[in-house]
Amino acid sequence: MTTTIAIVLFDGVDELDAVGPLEVLRGAAAHGADLSVRLVTRTEPLEVTGNHGLRLRADAVYQPGADILLVPGGGWIARAEAGAWAEAERGDWLPLVRAAAESGTVLAGVCTGVMLLARAGVIGARPATTHHGAKAELEADGVKVVDERVVDAGGLVTAGGVTSGIDLALRLVERVAGPAAAEAEAEWLEYPWSPEGAGEAAGQRGSGGHTITTEPVLGVVTARWGGEVVAESRNALLLRETGLAPVTYFPIEDVRTDLMHRTDFHTTCPFKGEASYWGIDVGWRRAENIAWAYEDPRPERADLKGRIAFYQQRLDAFYVREGS
């Protein structure tokens, strides 16, 4: 199934924030990746003027339903009259971003576009990064700021300064089409990138490399949504991964799968394998892509087989009780 990606445009957008990812993603599509990319504005006219005067024309007015919504930045630090700051102050994009997050759309933020996501209130407890000139402000908003070029937190992928939008787009290609496709696109662009480095060039990556560890959760872990306990377990597993927030995996037998339905969405992690996604239906409430599982994980992550994880920030409640 084709993965659809919408890249937001607005007056004052930093051109490279939008065009860098556009070239990577459309290039990957042209080389066989199963994805479709559109530039979108909130309303007509479709033409906007970027931060450096470049005129850009969108493909369409934004409509909900994209698998990935990519938000660029521009003008935030300068508090410019046009750009991400102005869009946040105007507020028209904020409910659309929140609705996309609630529907299960993966959110991607480039540079100070991440600040627009933060203003929309969709980052929550997940780690994120942004342009170095806005990191203190992002942290002041309660976000766990990670000093990495790209931070992949599952349903939220963020990138730092302007050129890191290319790294973010390659990460999305990796998730959609696999590491080989991303490496091939980076080679075509003559851009230094590898899955292991996640595009973190010139000393952005620590010497420790990428690590994943798991450990039992001590106590009873409960996840609630829509007035129901959707998962509860004494045998949950906590996964810790470089650059990401810890994730709790429930044994599938401790999850209310009768309240859940499979979706068509899939992502690929070079360290864990392909993830399948589930939504939840309880009464009139419905949430898409709120949970995922590695049903056939890579051999080194066999401990995840038969387990399901939830986006904690999208649940109504998530807590651990000590004892048995």
Torsion of CA 136, 137, 143, 149, to 10 degrees: -60
**H or E, element range at 94:** helix 94-103
Contact 226, 316 (CB under 8 A): yes
Residue 13: which pLDDT band, with cuts at 50, 70 and 90?
very high
pTM: 0.65
Class of domain 212-321: mainly beta
Residues 198, 138, 130: CA angle, nearest 5 degrees: 30
Return the pLDDT at 265.
Answer: 84
pLDDT tens readout for residues 54-99: 999 999 999 999 999 999 999 999 999 999 999 999 999 999 999 9
Provide the residue ranges of all domains of the chain, joining segments of one domain with +. 3-188, 212-321
User: What pLDDT is attached to residue 199?
Assistant: 35
* CATH 3.20.20.80 holds for 3-188: no
b vs e for 231-255, b when ≥16 Cβ sit within 10 Å of the residue's Cβ?
bbbeebbbbebbbbbebbbbeeebb
Q: Are 279 and 292 in contact (CB under 8 A)?
A: no
Contact 108, 22 (CB under 8 A): no
List, for residues 185-219, the tens digit of each pLDDT value: 999 999 988 665 443 333 333 334 578 899 999 99
What is the arithmetic mean of pLDDT over 17-33?
A: 96
Alpha-carbon span 185 to 166, nearest angstrom: 11
Using one digit for the tens of pLDDT, what is the confidence trace for 209-261?
578 899 999 999 999 998 999 999 999 999 988 767 789 999 999 999 999 99
